[in-house]
Structure 1
Amino acid sequence: MTGIANERDADDGRSTDFEQLPGTETETKTDTRRPARRTFVKGAAIAGVSAIGLSSNAAASGSYTQYDGEYRHVVNVVEAGADNTGNRSITPVLNRLRNDNTLFYFPPGRYAMDSQFRFTKFDNVAFVGNDATLVPANYYNFDGPQYRLFRLGTLSRPGKKLRFEGFTVDQTAKDTGIRTIDTVVTDRLDVEDVRVKGEHDSGTMGPARFDVIGSNGTGRVVGFKAPDGGKNADDTPHAGKTSSRGPIGILANGTAGELMFRRCHVGGFPGSGLYACNGPGKIIVHGGVYRNSTSASIRIGGADSVVRWPTVEIDDVDEKYPSHRGIRVERGDVTIKGAAIRVSDPSPSNHAISVLSNCESAWIENTTIEMSGNDVNHGIVVSPGAGETTIARTNITHNAAGGYPLWLRSSNNTDRVHCEYLSIDGEAGDASGLRDGIRCERPNVRFAACEVDQRGRDGVKRNAIVSTSEDLSVWNMTLRASHFPIVELGSNSSYLEVDAESYSGREAACLYDQSHKISIRNSRLVNGVRDLGSWSLELSSNTTS
């Protein structure tokens, strides 16, 4: 896949399909020193040493008191020596305080970081900010691996339970774009109210990676916001040094458990917005705003994964990499419910929804799609190898310069596509000859109680439905078009109780010589049928006015 390569896990040297790095990462710190640190901090807490800010019970202070009883220790990082004026890096203090079963509390202030804080194989750790702002150093002044602020768990040494919440990350200074948090946990992940301010402009890995690798593990990422997006790698310090387009907004490609993203906001990134499709687990996207990312603003897969009620918008594309799809469905079984997708700055592959060939099944329901702009584009595109697909109670308004609101691409795959209460309207053009409301090139497709209205922009010739395959079933469908409502070039198609009319006074249906075994019954076919040589045609109980 473009922009995706191998990210090396520094603990075991294994490569995993995550994200293209600017270079090979080499950790300068090893795990051999950490057990001694943990022992020291734990021992100090037992001994009641207060100079490092540890206590055996949670103190009543600010935003963390709701977690009383969940952690054996609470560390006020400022009392423990961390500078909250933004003048000195806090990473050395965090390294000294690293400990299990501990909540690290960040009082109000600005916390500079000029090197990575790395904590692996931890158990029950929390980082809680109260009006706390993290300030990363300039890329050129960042010590050690220049990719992350917090690396919490790795594939070979994952953590168990992690909480991270209540931080603003100030990346408004030049060349300060960096991954805020990189997590690998087995049991439980809670991330909440983290906002990244400023464009990710250093060319390194994007703002966040979250993976719950335990099959029974659960995670929730609530209110993670990176609305300012990221720069293309060519416009960063890594220009010419990487094959990657640039950072991904949120990466979650190794989840085996269940991971929810709720009310997140991801701006335009050159390497996808939310990329969560390669793990075997369940991904849930609940609400949120996803905008203008290359490849896809939401790229999702997994077992019984769900995208419900997000807002997806494409109104500003990267001219170097113009493909900006709304939702890209791949792998496993995925349901999309209540999505609102608006594409107003399209280029030829900015489909609103793409169902890819390695998707086992897809269900799209109660979704609204609006397409406009001066280029050819398509609404929902189902790829040739995609499994069973259902589209229900969905509206597509297509006002682009050309293209198909619904395109079922050419395939021998007989997994059913079923559309029910689908409404397609708008006034599209006919650029590049792509002028059909529904382009059906796939066998075993069913339409029930649907409506298609293709008036055409400035009087251009648009068809309502064109079939080139076999075993199409159309029932109780209203078809209106400026050219032909029905065009048949396939076989074994059945039309029952259809109401079809051409705005230009043409026949309701046009059948070509390659079409055969077409049945149209109990239908209203205004001006009848134009038959250009089809064979085994059945017309029964139809009216022509």
Structure 2
Amino acid sequence: MAFDGGSSMGEGNPANVGATNIDTGVTTVIDPAAYEDRFSNVVDITDDPYNADPTGEEPINDALMMAWEDDTLIVFPQGQYKMNQSFRRTGWRDVGLVGQNAVIRHGEVEAISGHTVDEGEYRGGTMLFQIGTTDSPHQGELVFGGFIFDWARENAGMRGLYAMVGDRAEIRNIAFNGVHDLGTHGNMRVAAMAPDAFAHVDSIDMSGGGMHYTDTINTRQTENYDGSTSDGGFGQSWSTTGIAGHRGMSGTTLFENVICGPWPDNGMYIQGGGRQIVRNCITSNSGTSNIRFNHTDDWEPIPELDESEDGELTRHGPYGQSTVEGCVVIIDRMPSGVHDAQRSIWHYAGEGVIRDCEVTVAHESESGGAAGNFAIGTRSGVTESVVENCKISLLEPADAFYSGTSAPVMLRDVDIVADGWDAGSSVSTVIGGQTPSLENVTLNGSL
């Protein structure tokens, strides 16, 4: 299934009309046979005694409660499945939920305030699958995917998955179809919660993005930057983020092959703790930033990423720090909301490497410097940052790089192209803030 991110996905939402056409998609099938040997029990949720309705008429929450057991793989055949309340599970281990183009819908929403539905078929908190907590993360294996979350209807869009992981999680092959237009939690929040834990998120399509709460039926009150509240006014749309990490996380989180944007808050806001890796993702047009990450030392080497040729685990391999690699980021308009500017890739704190990325800025912000658009940037909490082998295209006036730290920052083998406006003849004219170290950095082919 492919969602092109174009105007058809933004129907009814002027901010999403004319989105950059990214003709990419992900498979939404997981073969249970590939995982059967990991679990003692494999159950079909539509079989007796669970009898989940695959037609979307009756809610499946009771069937889920019955089927969820330790060491169990729960299979969703192709069909449509309705949820009328959040499904929360804590204190279990080794569980999988896998579908074959299984469509998940929530019941009708008639009134919503913040993150709670007050009227409609669906009632309560707006997290559909809530697995583990920060204090009691899911243990053993968690496998989740093969689903299509259907946001194509009016007044649809919640957090499809909230997963706090204490050991291993494989979350893949998920599409969010349509525009998230309830102004509540964004599509996913996933975090490893132990130094040796590993959460792998792969092949996710959320290109439809989401709307600012002021453009929805949500009556939430939200604090502005100055601490004042907005009641039906503007202000920021905290938590309406495509994918989020967690401030208390540790260990390693890897996000790859994600298609994300546009969102009123950050697109991929994976900032938190431990080591974060964003690899081969496509993001576009999200408020504040499209990819935002940081790094702390609260992680341990894992076999999946850190095994050397002699079989030893090392902290000094290619992913010895938080890394953004092989990503494509596009800024060519502002998302739903009040944002004037956005950042493509924003290194927020700690160590980090940004490599082999392509960034295009084709929208001019009214602001400049730290408050304006820039392709790649650092914040004051950064301790060391390296940007290497990247290509930056500035099709409107903007900074290619903005440094908000006096810590060591190196730009190496970076090609900057300014097309359609006079950027000057020196690389320094498209670099703002603190001066980084430069090695083979060109502007329109010149050093």
Q: TM-score w.r.t. structure 2 length?
A: 0.77
- SS state of the match for residue 74, structure 1? strand
Q: What residue in structure 2 maps to residue 138 of structure 1?
A: 108
Match of 1:296 among 286, 289, 294: 289
Moved segments of 4+, more than 4 Å: 400-405
Contact 2:253 2:275 in 1 (8 A): yes
Q: What residue in structure 2 maps to residue 229 of structure 1?
A: 209
Residues 424 and 277 of structure 1: CA distance in aligned 2, closer, same or farther (over 3 Å): same
Q: What residue in structure 1 maps to residue 126 of structure 2?
A: 147
Structure with larger RCO (C-alpha < 8 A, sep 6+): 2
- SS state of the match for residue 242, structure 1? strand
Q: What residue in structure 1 maps to residue 311 of structure 2?
A: none
Aligned AA (1:362): S
Contact 2:244 2:271 in 1 (8 A): no
Q: What residue in structure 1 maps to residue 136 of structure 2?
A: 157
Aligned AA (2:291): I
Give per-residue Cα distances to partners, 1:367-393, cap 9 Å, x unaligned: 0000113xx42110111x342111111
| Separation in 1, partners of 2:291, 2:62 | 37
Is 1:200 the counterpart of 2:180? The answer is yes
% same residue: 25
Is 1:305 the counterpart of 2:299? The answer is no
| Separation in 1, partners of 2:346, 2:418 | 19
- SS state of the match for residue 65, structure 2? helix
Give per-residue Cα distances to partners, 1:376-426, cap 9 Å, x unaligned: 42110111x342111111111123657765425258xxxxx321111112x
Is 1:95 the counterpart of 2:87? The answer is no
Aligned AA (1:162): L
Residues 132 and 302 of structure 1: CA distance in aligned 2, closer, same or farther (over 3 Å): same
- SS state of the match for residue 174, structure 1? coil
Q: What residue in structure 1 maps to residue 309 of structure 2?
A: none
- SS state of the match for residue 189, structure 1? strand
Give per-residue Cα distances to partners, 1:323-370, cap 9 Å, x unaligned: 211011111111011110001113131110111111111100010000
| Separation in 2, partners of 1:121, 1:196 | 28
Is 1:340 the counterpart of 2:320? The answer is no
| Separation in 2, partners of 1:74, 1:260 | 27
Aligned AA (1:293): S
* Consecutive unaligned residues in structure 2, runs of 5 or more: 1-29, 111-119, 224-235, 297-320
Contact 2:250 2:275 in 1 (8 A): yes
1:7-406 equivalences in 2 (<5 Å) = 63-79=31-47, 80-140=50-110, 141=120, 143-160=122-139, 161-239=141-219, 241-243=221-223, 244-245=236-237, 247-253=240-246, 254-279=248-273, 281-303=274-296, 304-318=321-335, 320-347=338-365, 348=367, 349-373=372-396, 376-383=397-404, 385-399=405-419, 406=430
Q: CA deviation at 1:236?
A: 1.2
Contact 1:330 1:355 in 2 (8 A): yes
Q: CA deviation at 1:238?
A: 2.1
- SS state of the match for residue 93, structure 2? coil
Q: What residue in structure 2 maps to residue 540 of structure 1?
A: none
| Separation in 1, partners of 2:147, 2:36 | 20
Aligned AA (1:111): Y
| Separation in 1, partners of 2:150, 2:72 | 26
- SS state of the match for residue 231, structure 1? coil
1:387-466 equivalences in 2 (<5 Å) = 387-399=407-419, 406-410=430-434, 417-425=436-444, 452=446
Contact 1:227 1:265 in 2 (8 A): yes
Aligned AA (1:285): V
Contact 1:342 1:370 in 2 (8 A): yes
| Separation in 2, partners of 1:158, 1:240 | 29
Residues 218 and 174 of structure 1: CA distance in aligned 2, closer, same or farther (over 3 Å): same
Residues 94 and 242 of structure 1: CA distance in aligned 2, closer, same or farther (over 3 Å): same
Aligned AA (2:189): R
- SS state of the match for residue 269, structure 1? coil
Cα root mean square deviation, aligned: 1.9
Residues 240 and 134 of structure 1: CA distance in aligned 2, closer, same or farther (over 3 Å): closer
Q: CA deviation at 1:130?
A: 1.1
- Bigger radius of gyration: 1
Contact 1:328 1:353 in 2 (8 A): yes
Contact 1:377 1:400 in 2 (8 A): no
Contact 1:361 1:386 in 2 (8 A): no
- SS state of the match for residue 295, structure 2? strand
* Consecutive unaligned residues in structure 1, runs of 5 or more: 1-61, 412-416, 426-450, 453-477, 479-545
Query: More displaced, 184-193 or 94-103?
Result: 94-103
Residues 153 and 144 of structure 1: CA distance in aligned 2, closer, same or farther (over 3 Å): farther
Aligned AA (1:314): I
Q: What residue in structure 1 maps to residue 312 of structure 2?
A: none
Contact 1:223 1:264 in 2 (8 A): yes
Q: TM-score w.r.t. structure 1 length?
A: 0.63
In the alignment of these two chains, the number of paired residues is 359
Contact 2:330 2:361 in 1 (8 A): yes
